[in-house]
C-alpha cells in the first residue's frame, strides 16, 4: 500500500468517521455492529486528535450503560442488528438498553488520564472528567469485589471474551474443561464476514456459548458467578491493564483534588502490583495465566504475559527479561509483536489471537517499555507496528511474519492507533 504519514492520517480519520454512529463507534461495520468496551476507549485516543469533545462523548456513552453493581459491560447493543451472534436475545441481561453480561480489559482509566492531560483547558473538562473517574473507580471496585472475592489482589476472568484475546492459547485447557451438554443450537455469524481460518474454532465457540448460558441461568448475579464459574482464569495481561489504569485514575483524582479517592486507589494498586509475582512462570521466562480452579500456572507464552511491563518499575529485572522476549519474537516475526510465542507449536500466524499482531496491544507494550525506561525497544515495536499499516492499511490484525491484513477491514481501533503513533508516540511522549 505504501502510504506516507499524511495520507495515513487522512485514511485513519476517514475510518474513524466511517464507523462513527454519533455517540459511539462500531469497531467495523458487519462483523462488530455495536459498541465494544475496550475498542471504544482506545478509539477515543484517536478521536481526541480531530475532535476532543467527540472523544469524551465516546467514553460517556459507554459509562452510561454501567450496571448498578458497577460492571461496565463488554458490548452495548445500541441498535438491532441480525449480523452478529450472540445478540441480546442470547445474553438476556434485562438491561434497559441491552448489553452483554461480561466485561472487558479496563483501559478506561488509562485513556481518561491521556484525555485529561492532553486537554488544552483542563478546567473546561473538569466536571466530565470527575464523573468518569467516579464511574471507573466504581468499576474497579466491582472487579476486586466480584472477581477477587478472597482478596488475593488478582482478579479472575469468567469468559475468554473478557480478556479481549478470545481464542488465545492461554485458555485452551480451562476452556476444554467447560461442559457443553445442553447448549442451545446456534448459528455463527462471524464466519460469514471473515475467513474461518482467521477466527476461533467451532470447539471454542461451543464453549463460549455454554459459558454465556451458564451465567444467564444464574441471572447474571455477579455476587455468585465467580465461585460457581466453570471457567475462572487469572490473566497477567488483564490484571496489569487494570492496575495500570488504577494508578492512572489515582493520578487524575489527585489532580482534581479528590485526595480520598486517590489515596484509596494508589494503595490498592500498590498492593496488587506486588501480587503479580504469583504469575511469574520461571519455565517460560515470562508471566503466564493461573487457572484459579486448579491452582496451576498455565504453560502458555502469550502476549498477555508480556503486558505486565505496564506495571513494573524502571530497572526491574523482570521488565528487562520481557523486553528481551519482545526482541526475540520480533526477530522471527517482524510485523508487530505477535500474540503468541512464535516458537510455540500452537502458534498460528493467521488465527485471531493465536499468533497475529494487534496494534492496540503493541500500543500498550510501547507504553510499558517507555515507562520502564526501555525507549529503544519501544521504538522497535513502534516501527514494527507502522510496518503493518504501511503494508496493509487499517486492518483488525496482521500476519506477524508477512504483514498481511487479517480479520475485519477498515478497523476503528487500528485507525486510532495510527493517529496515536503518528501524532504522539513518534514524538516520544
Give residues 59-88 in contact with ligand DGY (rule: CB under 6 A): 74
Is 396 catalytic? The answer is yes
Q: Which of 30/52 has CB closer to ligand DGY?
A: 30
Specify the 3-state DSSP secondary structure of 411: coil
Angle between helices 375-392 and 412-423 (to 10 degrees): 130
| Strands, E assignment, 52-105 | 75-76
Give dist(CA 293, CA 230) in Å, integer: 8
Candidates 11, 39, 166, 235: give the one binding ligand DGY (CB under 6 A). Answer: 166
Q: How many helices (H) and strands (E) does the chain have?
A: 17, 9
Is 170 near ligand DGY (CB under 6 A)?
Answer: no
Q: Which of 339/425 has CB closer to ligand DGY?
A: 339
The minimum distance between CB 397 and ligand DGY, in angstroms, equals 12
Count of CB atoms situated within 10 Å of the CB of 210: 20
Beta carbons within 8 Å of 223's beta carbon, 6+ residues apart: 69, 146
Q: Which of 172/390 has CB closer to ligand DGY?
A: 172
Give dist(CA 314, CA 29) in Å, integer: 41
Is 171 near ligand DGY (CB under 6 A)?
Answer: no
Give dist(CA 64, CA 95) in Å, integer: 12
Is 39 near ligand DGY (CB under 6 A)?
Answer: no
Indicate the residue whose CB is closest to ligand DGY. Answer: 161
With contact defined as beta carbons under 8 Å apart, do 386 and 423 qualify? no
Candidates 77, 161, 363, 398: give the one binding ligand DGY (CB under 6 A). Answer: 161
Give dist(CA 319, CA 39) in Å, integer: 27
Give dist(CA 292, CA 172) in Å, integer: 14
CA distances from 310 to 240, 245, 291, 316, 339 (A): 6, 9, 22, 12, 16
The minimum distance between CB 74 and ligand DGY, in angstroms, equals 6
Is 56 near ligand DGY (CB under 6 A)?
Answer: no
Q: Which of 119/414 has CB closer to ligand DGY?
A: 414
Pick the catalytic residue from 13, 166, 204, 235. Answer: 166
Q: Which of 143/161 has CB closer to ligand DGY?
A: 161
Candidates 13, 190, 204, 420: give the one binding ligand DGY (CB under 6 A). Answer: 190
Is 341 near ligand DGY (CB under 6 A)?
Answer: no
The minimum distance between CB 139 and ligand DGY, in angstroms, equals 17
Q: Which of 335/353 has CB closer to ligand DGY?
A: 353
Is 162 near ligand DGY (CB under 6 A)?
Answer: no
Pick the catalytic residue from 190, 198, 348, 396. Answer: 396
Chain contacts with ligand DGY (rule: CB under 6 A)? 74, 161, 166, 190
| Catalytic residue numbers, as ranges | 166, 396
Amino acid at each position: 500500500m505504501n502510504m506516507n504519514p499524511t495520507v495515513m492520517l487522512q485514511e485513519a480519520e476517514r475510518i474513524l468517521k466511517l464507523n462513527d454512529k454519533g455517540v459511539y463507534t462500531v469497531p467495523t461495520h458487519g462483523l462488530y455492529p455495536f459498541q465494544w468496551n475496550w475498542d471504544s476507549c482506545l478509539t477515543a485516543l484517536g478521536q481526541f486528535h480531530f475532535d476532543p469533545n467527540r472523544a469524551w462523548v465516546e467514553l460517556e456513552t459507554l459509562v452510561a450503560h454501567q450496571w448498578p453493581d458497577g460492571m461496565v459491560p463488554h458490548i452495548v447493543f445500541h441498535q438491532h442488528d441480525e449480523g452478529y451472534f450472540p445478540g441480546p436475545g442470547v445474553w438476556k441481561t434485562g438491561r434497559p438498553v441491552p448489553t452483554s453480561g461480561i466485561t472487558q480489559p479496563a483501559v478506561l482509566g488509562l485513556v481518561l488520564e491521556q484525555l485529561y492531560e492532553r486537554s488544552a483547558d483542563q478546567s473546561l473538562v473538569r466536571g466530565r472528567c470527575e464523573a468518569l473517574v467516579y464511574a471507573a473507580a466504581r468499576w474497579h471496585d466491582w472487579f476486586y469485589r466480584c472477581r477477587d472475592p478472597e482478596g488475593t489482589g488478582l482478579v479472575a476472568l469468567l469468559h475468554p471474551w473478557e480478556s479481549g484475546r478470545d481464542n488465545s492459547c492461554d485458555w485452551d485447557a480451562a476452556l476444554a474443561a467447560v461442559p457443553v451438554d445442553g447448549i442451545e443450537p446456534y448459528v455463527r455469524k462471524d464466519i460469514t464476514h471473515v475467513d474461518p481460518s482467521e477466527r476461533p474454532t467451532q470447539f471454542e465457540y461451543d464453549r463460549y456459548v455454554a459459558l454465556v448460558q451458564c451465567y444467564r441461568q444464574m441471572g447474571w448475579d455477579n455476587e455468585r458467578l465467580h465461585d460457581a464459574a466453570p471457567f475462572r482464569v487469572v490473566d497477567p495481561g488483564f490484571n496489569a491493564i487494570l492496575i495500570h489504569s488504577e494508578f492512572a485514575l489515582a493520578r487524575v483524582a489527585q489532580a482534581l483534588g479528590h485526595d480520598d479517592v486517590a489515596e484509596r486507589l494508589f494503595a490498592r494498586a500498590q498492593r496488587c502490583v506486588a501480587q503479580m509475582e504469583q504469575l511469574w512462570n520461571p519455565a517460560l521466562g515470562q508471566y503466564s495465566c493461573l487457572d484459579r480452579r486448579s491452582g496451576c500456572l498455565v504453560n502458555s507464552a502469550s502476549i498477555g504475559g508480556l503486558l505486565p511491563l505496564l506495571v513494573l518499575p524502571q530497572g526491574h529485572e523482570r521488565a528487562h527479561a520481557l523486553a528481551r522476549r519482545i526482541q526475540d519474537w520480533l526477530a522471527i516475526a517482524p510485523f508487530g509483536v505477535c500474540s503468541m510465542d512464535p516458537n510455540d507449536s500452537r502458534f498460528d500466524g493467521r488465527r485471531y489471537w493465536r499468533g497475529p499482531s494487534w496494534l492496540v496491544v503493541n500500543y500498550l507494550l510501547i507504553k510499558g517499555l517507555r515507562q520502564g525506561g526501555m525507549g529503544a525497544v519501544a521504538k522497535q515495536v513502534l516501527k514494527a507496528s507502522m510496518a503493518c499499516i504501511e503494508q496493509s492499511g487499517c486492518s483488525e490484525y496482521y500476519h506477524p511474519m508477512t504483514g498481511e491484513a487479517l480479520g475485519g477491514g477498515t478497523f476503528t481501533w487500528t485507525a486510532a492507533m495510527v493517529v496515536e503513533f503518528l501524532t504522539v508516540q513518534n514524538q516520544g511522549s
